[in-house]
Structure 1
């Protein structure tokens, strides 16, 4: 029975070797699939990083635009205030002048100055209104982009 026993041992060893080869092949396939998955995940991560940088750049640009609009609004408000002061000064000067001493030329000059100041005031108010609209539109866009960035994360 030693010959039969050896034969059984050899068959069992062959079966074990065959089973080990199948396990090895299965493990190699799993390793290959995991490697492919890791490569895909790295590609996705790179794309997400690139998108994040794009959104970050957009956000920073929008913040810079907002700061610029704030400065313009402040400047226009100051100009409006100056125009109002000039108008008050012109009105005060006009009321202090003795109407008997005013020539028609002086009167038309003062009226022209008044029209000019009123026109300048309306122009500044219109520009301020336009800047204000642009600011609010930019601010809404900033909020939308911020929400999109938050949703992506």
Structure 2
């Protein structure tokens, strides 16, 4: 075998290896681009989750403050209701006797005014609570929609392989085909590179 033929064989093998490396490099670049896109999407989702967390903390603090207002208002009403009932009983007894209330007792007008003010205040709180419930319902619906979209994206990203009782043939990529193509080639001093099965005669079918 001459040196020129050996060099030609080495060059052909080297060119096959270079081609295979190029294919592998392209595949790695494609995978790298997909990973960068996935990282950007995950970073955006992380930012939105942090913003949502801060928003829910703010909502919690506002609701806690409103609950404190309700507690104080209810406590005051609990303290003033017995006094108002006592005044009402006194008025009823005086009316039954036909007496004038102003001549027999000095009514506590301040208590009535405070009760009326707190009644107005509680009605205002109830309206605010209804508005708050409506806002929380919209926020919950919005958060639920975001979680649904995130789950859909995760389902598209992760698709498990189907379980089959029969073995599935593995598909060969272009790189594996080039490697096998190179391995199946032999050198012939007369014809150059060729397939290993090019000189094999076709065998007759076997009949029993």
Q: State the TM-score, normalizing by the size of structure 2.
A: 0.55
Q: Does 1:140 pair with 2:142?
A: no
User: What is the 5 A alignment of 1:1-153?
Assistant: 2-3=1-2, 6-95=3-92, 99=99, 102-103=102-103, 110=107, 116=113, 119-120=116-117, 122-148=119-145, 150-151=147-148, 152=150
| Closer, same or farther: CA 133–80 of 1 in aligned 2, 3 Å | farther
| Closer, same or farther: CA 86–123 of 1 in aligned 2, 3 Å | farther
CA-atom RMSD in angstroms:
3.2
**1:61-107 superposed Cα distances (whole Å, 9 cap, x missing partner):** 2222222222222222223333433321322343566836843xx87
Higher relative contact order (CA 8 A, sep 6+): 1
> In the aligned structure 2, how far is the partner of 1:86 from the partner of 1:149?
52
Q: Which moved more, 1:59-68 or 1:92-101?
A: 92-101
CA displacement at 1:143 relative to structure 2: 3.1
SS at match of 1:91: helix
> In the aligned structure 1, how far is the partner of 2:101 from the partner of 2:22?
113
Contact 2:77 2:118 survives alignment (8 Å): yes
Contact 2:84 2:111 survives alignment (8 Å): yes
Partner of 2:199: none
CA displacement at 1:50 relative to structure 2: 0.7
Q: State the TM-score, normalizing by the size of structure 1.
A: 0.70
Q: Which moved more, 1:85-94 or 1:19-28?
A: 85-94
| Higher Cα Rg, which structure | 2
- The alignment covers a number of residue pairs equal to 147
CA displacement at 1:113 relative to structure 2: 5.4
